[in-house]
Amino acid sequence: MKKEQEQGFTTQVIHGHNEKLDPVHGSTTPPLYLNTAFLFENADQGARRFAREEEGYVYARMGNPSVEMLEKRLALLENGEAAAAFASGMGAISSLLLHLAQPGDHIISVREIYGGTYAFFEGQLKRMGCSITYFNPAAPDLEAELDAQYTSHSRVLYLETPSNPSLALVDLEACSRWAHKRGLVTVVDNTFCTPYLQRPLNFGIDWSVHSTTKYLNGHGDCVGGVVIGTEPAIQALRQEVQWHFGNVLSPFNAWLTLRGLQTLSLRMARHSETALTVARFLEEHPKVQRVHYPGLPSHPQHELAQKQMAGFSGMISFSLASREAGPRLLNNLQLCLLAVSLGHVATLIEHPASMSHAAYSEEECRAAGLDTALVRLSVGLEEATDLIADLEQGLEKV
């Protein structure tokens, strides 16, 4: 892996890999390349590029300058060697798992994951002959918990931290150490933190994945995903899966994500600051049963959060008295927008059991420790006092 960056994070967010920005016209912002194919100087050059004997662009499915700039910048920020951008976060996750797992392989996953990932595991991966078991990251003896899941067919350890939606944490260093002793590759969904708050590769993780739709873009106007790892591993992922399936990020969405990325540091700091204020309010409210936020001392893994995260992000979840109470709250809010997704400049709120995690049955919710009375809040960039006032008036009607 690459060494820690020499320049500051925010400097690299703005200037990282700008050497190919626009040498012809001198643009100060990344140009947008919308063409589908690229010219060759002659037939020999075309043959060399198709044979991968010469660097250069051939066809948009196999590479585009706008997409490549985003990939290089995200790899730099994650302390990785290379990255591959995909059409969505699920496109990144599904492509990577299809690349890593073969029929008959076993995947060990943290028990609470994004609903779309869970549906992919229980649907497509099982249909292709893979088996999946789930572990509790908060088990008193994590190594024993993982050992109980391990088989001779285990190939991948899949992690998400903080988890979606109850914000449970996974000890990245301990999981990486355990997996590598047994020959498993490790994957972490780092969407909730972004590289600004957490860099899984620094803890020995092999692959970091993101839904760029969320905080990396930050403005709710484009969908995308990215996988970050070593240069040889990323090239194999491209050639063996991405180019054949055609699951590539559009140049326009890459350009929008690059634009949003430039304010990532400012946004994540504000998201985190406001979320902590809102979480403290919710923790004191009599109609809130429990608040899940890694920045609160009451979070059972607060110490771990301080160790592996540089901040606590903008995601909060909290439990009300019943499953029915969540929708009632959502229907009585004015400022908090009722929508799935997260990482938007505006605050978004949803009820996971009936929305983002509807793929879980009631029994599966219980097995995963997913509280059906849970509400998930993606704290935006509004004033904390205004968000608290909206939540307070909404809770009065529950």
- 376 burial type by CB count under 10 A (0-12 exposed, 13-18 middle, 19+ buried): buried
> Is 214 among the catalytic positions?
yes
Supply φ then ψ for residue 153, to 5 degrees.
-100, 0
Catalytic position from the list 73, 111, 199, 214: 214
Catalytic position from the list 105, 189, 206, 371: 189
Torsion of CA 207, 149, 138, 294, to 10 degrees: 20
State how far the alpha carbon of 37 is from the alpha carbons of 54, 58, 85, 279, in Å.
16, 6, 18, 50
Catalytic position from the list 33, 49, 105, 114: 114
CA distance linking residue 195 with residue 264, whole number of Å: 9
3-state DSSP assignment of residue 375: strand
For residue 198, the surrounding DSSP H or E stretch is none
> Is 267 among the catalytic positions?
no
> Is 189 among the catalytic positions?
yes
Torsion of CA 240, 242, 243, 246, to 10 degrees: 140
Say if CB 150 and CB 172 are below 8 A apart.
Answer: no
Catalytic position from the list 2, 48, 61, 328: 61
> Is 61 among the catalytic positions?
yes
Six-digit token string for 14: 């703005």
CA dihedral sign, ordered 316, 11, 96, 30 = positive
The runs of H, that is alpha helices, within 51-114 are 65-77, 89-100
Question: Looking at the annotation, which residues are catalytic?
Answer: 61, 114, 189, 214
